[in-house]
Amino acid sequence: MIRIKDLGFAYSGNPILKDISMDLKEGCIYGLLGENGVGKTSLLTLLCGLKKAQTGTIDTDGYNPYDRQPSFLSEQYYLSDEVTAMNMTAAGYAETYGRFWMNFDMKKFLEVMEIFGNDPNQMMDKVSLGQLKKTYIAFALACNTKYLFMDEPTNGLDIPSKSQFRKAMTKYTREDSVIVISTHQVRDLENLIDPIIILERRNVLLNASIAEISDKLYFDYGSEKHPDALYSEMIPGSNIQVLLNQSGEESKVNIEALFNAVHQNKELIKGIFNSKM
């Protein structure tokens, strides 16, 4: 488990994160959402130890990530939004750099590459951005780490590749893993990410599972307008509205509508889900 307590980080005196606290539990694929500039990438790089927390603490199974101990590093992988086109084949890259992760599985790398339709013998600097991104996703999954942090992994992927990404994530991640995916493309990951984290610079507005969200909020897709809706948006043929779930009725969570409802009702949402912060 990862325990974040009163975390703070700033660039040149400009606060990026302040007093952030939450727990990240095993067996979950967290969707990390937030407006531009709230510190999603900063949080990921703090979690993997590339940056040092200036205030507060991060405890990852007893490790401080910034200590960069080899036993910790071999159990975590950070996939940046920006990927490098190396002058080598994908298979050569995996064979060369996979040795730094004690559980690296070349067979898994090749299987994920096959799911993506990528040729492992093709030069990495001769492929499209989407193919390059898929190579790095395959490598990340083949590292078999407990902790996996991914920054906008579906950026640059076409529609079929996004489906293949969801398939690979479901099939090739460990049952005890803690995965955090930062994304603006919530529709790409709507059936994959659970729980949902909605971040502000000075607040975790929400950290809750889909089941917990459905228990406390109701997502209405009918044509009748509700004056007490927390958020309402017209969609073809009807409306989507977010209301307090006062009847205990189940509904399908729409993550985009959830995000907007949270931002329009910050204090109310924090109060409703406060026990989960």
Which whole number is the average pLDDT over 93-110?
A: 97
**For residue 124, how many C-alpha atoms fall within 13 Å in the half-sphere facing its CB?**
19
Closest CA to 29 of 150, 137, 157: 150
- Neighbour count for residue 187 (Cβ, 10 Å): 12
Which pLDDT band, with edges at 50, 70 and 90, does 277 fall under? very low
CATH number belonging to the domain at 2-206, selected among 1.10.10.60, 3.40.1390.10, 3.40.50.300, 3.60.15.10: 3.40.50.300
Q: Rounded to whole angstroms, how far apart are CA atoms 238 and 262? A: 21
Stated pTM of the model: 0.94
- pLDDT of amino acid 52: 95
Res. 149: pLDDT tops 80: yes
Reported as a single tens digit per residue, the pLDDT across 189-248 is 988 999 999 998 778 999 999 999 999 999 999 888 899 999 999 888 788 999 999 999
- pLDDT of amino acid 202: 79
Closest CA to 16 of 7, 4, 28: 7
Judged by DSSP in three states, 53 sits in: coil
Domain ranges of the chain: 2-206, 209-276
Q: Rounded to whole angstroms, how far apart are CA atoms 54 and 91? A: 39
Q: What is the dihedral of CA 262, 266, 272, 274, to 10 degrees?
A: 110
- Which H/E stretch holds residue 234? strand 231-235
- 102-107: list long-range contacts, CB under 8 Å, 24+ apart: 102/74, 103/74, 103/143, 103/144, 103/145, 104/142, 104/143, 104/144, 105/142, 105/144, 106/142
- 82-85: list long-range contacts, CB under 8 Å, 24+ apart: 83/129, 83/132, 83/133, 83/135, 83/136, 85/124, 85/125, 85/127, 85/132
User: β-strands 238-244, 231-235: how paired?
Assistant: antiparallel
